[in-house]
């Protein structure tokens, strides 16, 4: 069976799928995206992701290319056509195709692409059991990273810098030395049995995994605070972890080669992973 993608209203063989050379996503990163985790062929936290997609579109004044109720149908179709069991679906909307001009085109139609893939079996659990290492890097992104835009060059550079230093993720530092978030995840520490993560603002993406974990923690009555933290807090932390649709809850065992706790996957990461999976919505 060959892979299929949804491209501007049609299902096309993945290897033959194409977009126009003057798509504004390609020329200006003028578009937005969402990544949906798929578990057991079901979409994880669909409502949260679709709400954020609509918010991103609204903030950038991009019209939805399809009816709002059709998103779920097409995502499910990609899951079915590609026989995705556990994996992800990537959905991208751009302002569309127009002759290159910075101003919004008057008559373009927004473009949509949906692709999906399976992740190798046990990929998540194997990574979870090892934990990940993090490198800090300056946050050089634009000032509206609450919008999930295609403008991803700073996180690309940060993730590569982390990889060049033997790490799986970069934690980004604001001008005052506080962590904003990961290059493609939200950042958390645990100190004195309290979970700490940065409050939502235009300096971070309001992660759907983050929101689900926060509501799950409150359901089980776990102590949680939203506040900024810096490298000194990290040095004193008992545990650290990241959250995202691709990593769920993923333990961090070292930051800048400084061990977190005893440098092994800790009990809270294990507990929060279980709590998170208990409360996710699958649809």
Task: Compute the distance between CA of residue 229 and CA of residue 240 in angstroms, rounded to an integer.
Answer: 11
Cβ 79 vs Cβ 4: under 8 Å: no
* Position 205 contacts ligand PDD (CB under 6 A): yes
CB atoms within 10 A of CB 61: 8
Judged by CB under 6 A, which stretch of 8-16, 75-83, 120-128, 208-216 contacts ligand PDD?
A: 208-216
Binding flags for ligand PDD, 162-181, as an x/- string (CB under 6 A): -------------------x
Residue 72 designated active-site:
no
Radius of gyration of the chain (CA): 19
* Position 269 contacts ligand PDD (CB under 6 A): no
Sign of CA dihedral 7, 9, 12, 17: negative
* Position 187 contacts ligand PDD (CB under 6 A): no
Cβ 170 vs Cβ 228: under 8 Å: no
Judged by CB under 6 A, which stretch of 70-78, 104-112, 130-138, 242-250 contacts ligand PDD?
A: 242-250
Helix or strand run (H / E) with residue 217: helix 208-219
* Position 184 contacts ligand PDD (CB under 6 A): yes
User: Catalytic one among 80, 106, 117, 148?
Assistant: 148
Judged by CB under 6 A, which stretch of 14-22, 94-102, 123-131, 201-209 contacts ligand PDD?
A: 201-209
CB atoms within 10 A of CB 262: 10
Q: What share of the chain is helix, strand, coil (3-state, %, to 5)?
A: 30, 30, 40
Nearer to ligand PDD, 172 or 260 (CB): 172
Q: Where are the beta strands (DSSP E) in the chain?
A: 4-7, 10-13, 31-39, 42-43, 87-94, 111-118, 132-138, 169-173, 179-182, 186-191, 194-197, 224-226, 239-244, 248-255, 258-259
* Position 245 contacts ligand PDD (CB under 6 A): yes
Nearer to ligand PDD, 179 or 245 (CB): 245
* Position 266 contacts ligand PDD (CB under 6 A): no
Binding flags for ligand PDD, 29-58, as an x/- string (CB under 6 A): ------x-----------------------
* Position 207 contacts ligand PDD (CB under 6 A): yes
Given the rule CB under 6 A, which residues bind ligand PDD? 35, 181, 184-186, 205, 207-210, 243-246
Catalytic residues: 148
């Amino acid at each position: 069976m060959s892979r299929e993608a949804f491209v501007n209203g049609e299902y096309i063989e993945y290897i033959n799928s194409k977009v126009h050379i003057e798509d504004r996503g390609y020329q200006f990163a003028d578009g937005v995206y969402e990544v949906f985790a798929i578990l057991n062929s079901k979409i994880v936290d669909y409502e949260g992701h679709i709400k954020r997609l609509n918010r991103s579109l609204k903030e950038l004044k991009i019209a939805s290319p399809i009816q709002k109720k059709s998103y779920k149908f097409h995502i499910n179709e990609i899951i079915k056509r590609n026989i995705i069991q556990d994996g992800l679906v990537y959905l991208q909307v751009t302002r569309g195709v127009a002759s290159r001009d910075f101003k919004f085109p008057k008559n373009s139609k927004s473009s949509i692409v949906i692709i999906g893939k399976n992740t190798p079996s046990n990929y998540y659990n194997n990574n979870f059991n090892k934990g990940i290492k993090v490198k800090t890097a300056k946050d050089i992104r634009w000032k509206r990273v609450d919008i999930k835009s295609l403008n991803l060059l700073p996180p690309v550079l940060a993730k590569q810098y982390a990889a060049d230093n033997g790490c799986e993720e970069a934690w980004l530092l604001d001008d005052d030395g506080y962590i904003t978030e990961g290059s493609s995840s939200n950042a958390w520490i645990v100190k004195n049995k309290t979970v700490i993560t940065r409050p939502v603002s235009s300096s971070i993406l309001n992660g759907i995994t983050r929101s689900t974990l926060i509501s799950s923690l409150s359901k089980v009555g776990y102590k949680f605070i939203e506040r900024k933290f810096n490298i000194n807090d990290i040095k004193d932390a008992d545990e650290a972890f990241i959250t995202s649709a691709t990593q769920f809850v993923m333990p961090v065992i070292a930051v800048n080669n400084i061990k977190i706790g005893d440098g092994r996957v800790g009990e809270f990461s294990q507990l929060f992973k279980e709590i998170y999976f208990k409360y996710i919505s699958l649809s």
